[in-house]
Structure 1
């Protein structure tokens, strides 16, 4: 397609139990199409439009690229816009007409798909780590939320230059996600803030991550009553916002741990970089610094399918709007510092056509 850009075994326990699952191979993923004309530096975030088959890709090369993706995973570049420093987050508006981004230039920018123009709509005092479009207040007003390393959560009305509301965070923002009326912000020191978007200016509940080590990612599931959190210590936690549900349903499990030499009984532990929920089934995939992917069903506490290390760390993942395509970035995630970022590491995104055995929820037990 033409473009505007130019020419080992995985150790995991789910809920304290070892579950049988379907094991995938590297060969199963070998034919996944690769992004056409990818970024020139590490991919930091990816996001599909909720209304059409478009994917936005944020990168350390200071750019956000937008691609059209076919049902077979073929892609072509359709737009590109710049930040003045590495871009850390990207997200689509609910109506699919705009793309937001935030980065190390402290700026929040929005690209309009119709006019093909980008503008700065917000400013933080430090790097902007996460952006999310939300429907807030009694009338579900579309606004843009941004959270940064300045320990601030700002809400932006795109028609005005100043934030319409601000929440002080207990620490630097590391990850943020939303579903229905739930907005969750995860910060340093394992703080998690849950916000009911019917009253976006107030924090509904302040939680502590169920995991004992630094939070890497938080992701809300489609029902909007809870979230999954991943840590640098190869663990994933399932947390409900409601206290009654939390008491009965919260749990955590090990993932993204490799045993390079089983005879020595040694385990290498990797960060959970990304958690993406299937938009229809509510199942999810975790991706890690070990370069592996695993699909899970939280309700049955079952590992659906796991894929081994694919040769490169995976910093970001996303399902398209109907869950038929799973996109995963293959790029350096900076988990081992600057010295490990060499020219042989790819900076790309691959597209995997999902199968029922990967994403179909298990029947509920009676």
Structure 2
């Protein structure tokens, strides 16, 4: 299924369209793994990285300022904020889930897994209306945490190592090794509602839930996205997949057929207001898409360095994205001169708002 219902040229941005992006040079000393905005502030965000640190940045007034940082004993793979914006959570390859208090600067261990903590999300479910954190680990479990308790309030066994998870409303979706997708109804959070196999042929890199909580998008290493729905009937009507983050190899010999260079889809982020979404990939570009109209809203030029993660702020007025090594070529590909940069792109309605079909 092609996404290109409009001509490619009309949807392509130029270098001019990213010229006003705010640049944070050297926001980390090693590869950036995750970016998360505060739900209570437009310009406050946390950055986790392979240098064992989480840093909190503030770009109020367009001037980037480092506000705080805390450390793990190994690379930090994910970060999120509590709903009230007072705590920053992180999980890392030291198997630890840590919690940093923004006001006091104190860090405490919130929890522990038996393997690296790869992905996390904040939930609100149950009668207490208190924040519950869910963490996914390579120990093949999801664990639920309440900051007021030392032990997890629940553990769910997963089919394989958890690589990615996301939640919206009452939906929680985890993507694991061997292409398993586990769907959980947060009305019954301790049980898997449904497991399915990714429709994409290769390893799942990222899952992101729709704002409505009725489905999710998947991205894989083969430069493909799948648009999925929980309800089988809705899936039959609306589900599809499409190619993205691919380039044509221009260095081919005369007379040779064009080769397609395929890059991983590393990150998917849904716009909090419009429900359109961004993808970012190993080709060094990010794109805005509209799943309902099945077309690309805007494609951006490659920065010639992979983008491991992108994230919208709370009202979608800013997309943060990192230029950093994405580990797609293992340890060998991690060159000393690889950039570590975060850029903040001010989004316009023209780029990101759903366009009604003429």
Q: What TM-score do the two structures reach when normalised by structure 1?
A: 0.92
The separation in 2 between residues aligned to 1:98 and 1:257, in whole angstroms, is 38
The separation in 2 between residues aligned to 1:349 and 1:239, in whole angstroms, is 30
- From 221, 224, 242, the equivalent of 1:253 is 242
**2:77 — aligned with what?**
88
**2:343 — aligned with what?**
350
Q: Deviations over 1:228-251 (max 9, x none)?
A: 000000000000111221111110
**2:226 — aligned with what?**
237
Q: Deviations over 1:54-73 (max 9, x none)?
A: 1100000000001112264x
| 1:87 shift after superposition | 0.3
The separation in 1 between residues aligned to 2:21 and 2:304, in whole angstroms, is 14
Structure 1: which 5+ residue stretches go unaligned?
1-12
**2:2 — aligned with what?**
14
Of 17-26 and 305-314, more deviation after overlay is shown by 17-26
**1:59 — aligned with what?**
49
The 5 Å alignment of 1:179-218 reads 179-218=168-207
The 5 Å alignment of 1:110-121 reads 110-121=99-110
| 1:48 shift after superposition | 0.6
The separation in 2 between residues aligned to 1:199 and 1:113, in whole angstroms, is 32
| 1:286 shift after superposition | 0.6
Q: Deviations over 1:18-67 (max 9, x none)?
A: 53242112343244221255111110000111111311000000000011
Q: Deviations over 1:178-226 (max 9, x none)?
A: 1111111110111111112122111122122121111000011211111
Structure 2: which 5+ residue stretches go unaligned?
none
Q: Does 1:155 align with 2:128?
A: no
The question of whether the paired residues in 2 share the 8 Å contact of 1:58 and 1:88 is answered with yes
The question of whether the paired residues in 1 share the 8 Å contact of 2:5 and 2:294 is answered with no
Q: Secondary structure at the match of 1:267?
A: strand
The separation in 2 between residues aligned to 1:22 and 1:296, in whole angstroms, is 10
The question of whether the paired residues in 1 share the 8 Å contact of 2:249 and 2:258 is answered with no
Q: Does 1:107 align with 2:100?
A: no
| 1:152 shift after superposition | 0.8
**1:334 — aligned with what?**
327
The question of whether the paired residues in 1 share the 8 Å contact of 2:22 and 2:345 is answered with yes
Aligned-residue CA RMSD (Å): 1.6
Change (3 A) 1:229 1:289: same
Count of matched residue pairs: 351
**1:227 — aligned with what?**
216
The separation in 2 between residues aligned to 1:158 and 1:229, in whole angstroms, is 30
Q: Secondary structure at the match of 2:259?
A: coil
The separation in 1 between residues aligned to 2:188 and 2:102, in whole angstroms, is 30
- From 59, 68, 72, the equivalent of 1:69 is 59
**2:301 — aligned with what?**
308
Q: What TM-score do the two structures reach when normalised by structure 2?
A: 0.94
Of 240-249 and 226-235, more deviation after overlay is shown by 240-249
| 1:138 shift after superposition | 3.9
The separation in 2 between residues aligned to 1:216 and 1:116, in whole angstroms, is 33
Q: Secondary structure at the match of 2:273?
A: coil
The separation in 2 between residues aligned to 1:186 and 1:359, in whole angstroms, is 26
The separation in 2 between residues aligned to 1:166 and 1:99, in whole angstroms, is 22
Change (3 A) 1:212 1:43: same
The question of whether the paired residues in 2 share the 8 Å contact of 1:107 and 1:120 is answered with yes
The separation in 2 between residues aligned to 1:27 and 1:360, in whole angstroms, is 20
- From 267, 273, 277, the equivalent of 2:266 is 273
